[in-house]
Structure 1
Amino acid sequence: MSSHDKLFLAGILTAGLLAAPALAFDFGRPATPQDIKLWDIDVGPDGKGLPDGSGTAAQGKQIFADNCAACHGDNGQGGIKDRLAGGQGTLASNMPVKTVGSFWPYATTLFDYIHRAMPYPTPGSLSTDETYAVTAYILSLNGIVPADGKVDKESLPKIRMPNRDGFIPEPEFDPARLFRKK
Structure 2
Amino acid sequence: MAFRKLLPLIFLGMCQIGSAQSPTYGVGRSPTADEIRAWDISISPTGQELPSGRGTAREGAQLYIQKGCAGCHGRTGSGSQAPTLIRSDGTTRSSMPCLVPCVNDNNVMALHSPFATVMWDYINRGMPIGKEGTLQPDEVYALTAFLLYKNGVIHEDDVMDAHSVPEVVMPNRYGFAMPTEEWKHGSPRLQGYPKPPQ
TM-score, structure 1 as length reference: 0.75
Secondary structure of 2:55's counterpart equals strand
CA contact (8 A) 2:100 2:175 kept: no
In 2: Cα distance, 1:80 partner to 1:94 partner = 13
CA contact (8 A) 2:100 2:171 kept: no
Larger Rg: 2
Secondary structure of 2:160's counterpart equals strand
Give CA-to-partner distance per residue, 1:124-182, whole Å, 9 cap, x none: 111111011100101011011112221000000000011100101588xx573xx5346
In 2: Cα distance, 1:131 partner to 1:93 partner = 24
In 1: Cα distance, 2:101 partner to 2:157 partner = 31
- C-alpha distance 92-110 of structure 1, shift in aligned 2 (>3 A): closer
The equivalences for 1:103-118 within 5 A come to 103-118=112-127
In 1: Cα distance, 2:78 partner to 2:120 partner = 19
CA contact (8 A) 1:54 1:128 kept: yes
Secondary structure of 1:75's counterpart equals coil
Alignment partner of 1:26 is 2:33: no
Cα distance, 1:90 vs structure 2 = 7.1
Alignment partner of 1:165 is 2:166: no
In 2: Cα distance, 1:41 partner to 1:94 partner = 30
In 2: Cα distance, 1:93 partner to 1:148 partner = 27
Cα distance, 1:96 vs structure 2 = 4.5
Secondary structure of 2:135's counterpart equals coil
Read off the aligned partner of 1:114 and give its amino acid letter: I
The equivalences for 1:83-98 within 5 A come to 83-86=84-87, 87=92, 88-89=97-98, 91=100, 96=105, 98=107
Give CA-to-partner distance per residue, 1:97-145, whole Å, 9 cap, x none: 5214642211110000000111111111111110111001010110111
Read off the aligned partner of 1:119 and give its amino acid letter: P
TM-score, structure 2 as length reference: 0.69
Quick one: which of 147, 156, 175 aligns to 1:147? 156
Aligned residue pair count: 155
Secondary structure of 1:129's counterpart equals helix
In 2: Cα distance, 1:53 partner to 1:158 partner = 16
In the other structure, the counterpart of 2:187 is 180
Unaligned runs of 5+ in 2: 1-23, 190-198
The equivalences for 1:16-165 within 5 A come to 26-67=26-67, 68-86=69-87, 87=92, 88-89=97-98, 91=100, 96=105, 98-100=107-109, 102-165=111-174
- C-alpha distance 32-155 of structure 1, shift in aligned 2 (>3 A): same
Give CA-to-partner distance per residue, 1:46-78, whole Å, 9 cap, x none: 112111111111111111112211111113112
CA contact (8 A) 2:100 2:172 kept: no
Q: Percent identity?
A: 35
Name whichever structure is richer in helix by fraction: 1
